Amino acid sequence: MNKILKSKYPAIGLIAACALALSSSALAWTNKPVKMIVPAPAGGTMDIVARVVAEQLGQELGQSVVVENKPGAGGAIAVQALIAAPGDGQTIMMTASNVLTEIPHVMKTGFDPMKDVEPVALIVKASAVLVSAPSVPAKDFSELVAYAKAKPRQLSYVSYITGTIPHYAGMILNQKAGLDLQHVPYPGSPPALTQVMAGQPLMMFDGLATSLPLFNGGKLKAYGVLSKTRSSHLPNVPTMAEQGYPELDFSNWIGVIVEAGVPAATRDAMNTTLAAVAKSPKVRDRLVAAGFEAVENQTPAQMSKAMKADFERNAAIVKTFNIKLN
């Protein structure tokens, strides 16, 4: 039947071909290679997400997507490289939202996250979880608090950097629960977790992606998830809100941002393409297996609004607790 239609009405075949071409070009915002900057070293959390996405994105675009790691200065080096690039959509950045909504409040970054960049697509959510060593004599969160109260100024909590969620969360817990845990910052999550597993600091608010393998191996215990809903990875672990601490609701997203000069139409096309990439089973399954949570797509405008709200909330926390980078 198709052959008859094409031979009798050749215009139909031409129209169909043009429609397909237009559909493909609408998804592919570029016909040139793309550079994806990552503000972390190879093998880090953001790098893992970037490389999984880059592989599938390259197939969607029919172009190479080159991952370029630019760690350092709390992500500022990478962001500065992004905003220095032409605003043509050929350079994008895979980042965690804390690079934009937390770090700038405690470090001089050389950029304004509310003016110099624009978010274009969510890829995954990175939940946080309260962890401690299995040797700690507390079977649940209420017992953990009681244990800490019985040892004022003797116990500590760790974070992977001053001025980020693991730091905020500990200070809020101190205030709300009447604790006096001392904050000890570490240069990254792995060394901090090593100390927690050894039972030296009492606890840590860590990213689920880095803690999950340690739960499975019996090296850490989870006491609460810092999000509105329970994690699919830890369905038996209650949220902090369920345990009376709704203020402890912190989740970062990992997604793609661009320089603010990229046209809105290009950002929308990027959003469409990257949403398809994030939803593809090949990408989704690999990232969920790595400890991340799948998310529903948002428009760039929705992402910008949410990012601004997080930025302002974190600014208020930093001011309230007078948090400064050591």
Check whether residue 119 and residue 157 sit in a common domain.
no
Give the list of residues 6+ apart from residue 104 with CB closer than 8 angstroms, or none.
Answer: 111, 112, 113, 311
Same domain assignment for residues 112 and 173 = no
Which portions of the chain are predicted below pLDDT 70? 1-28, 326
**In this structure, what CATH number is given to the domain that contains residue 177?**
3.40.190.10
- The reply to whether 303 falls in a domain is yes
Whether 17 maps to a domain, the answer reads no
260 in the same domain as 121: yes
CA dihedral 18, 20, 26, 29 (to 10 degrees): -90
- Domain range for residue 151? 127-225
Residues 172-209 have pLDDT tens digits of 999 999 999 999 998 888 889 999 999 989 999 999 99
Evaluate whether residue 9 is within a structural domain. no
111 and 135 belong to one structural domain: no
Count the domains in the chain. Answer: 2
Select from 191, 225, 259 the last residue of a domain: 225
Task: Classify residue 18: in a domain, yes or no.
Answer: no
Q: Within a domain: residue 23?
A: no
Mark whether 112 and 133 lie in a shared domain. Answer: no
Q: Is residue 145 part of a domain?
A: yes
Please report the pLDDT score of residue 27 as a whole number.
Answer: 54
> Which amino acid, one-letter code, is at 16?
A
Asked if the structure places residue 87 within a domain, the reply is yes
Q: Which tokens belong to 157?
A: 């909590």
pLDDT at 99: 95
What is the model's pLDDT at position 14?
A: 46
CA distance 275 to 295: 10
Specify whether 112 is located in the same domain as 134: no
Query: Do 112 and 100 belong to one domain?
Result: yes
Residue 2 placed within a domain: no
Query: What does the pLDDT look like over 214-270, one tens digit per residue?
Result: 998 899 999 999 999 999 999 999 999 999 999 999 989 999 999 999 999 999 999
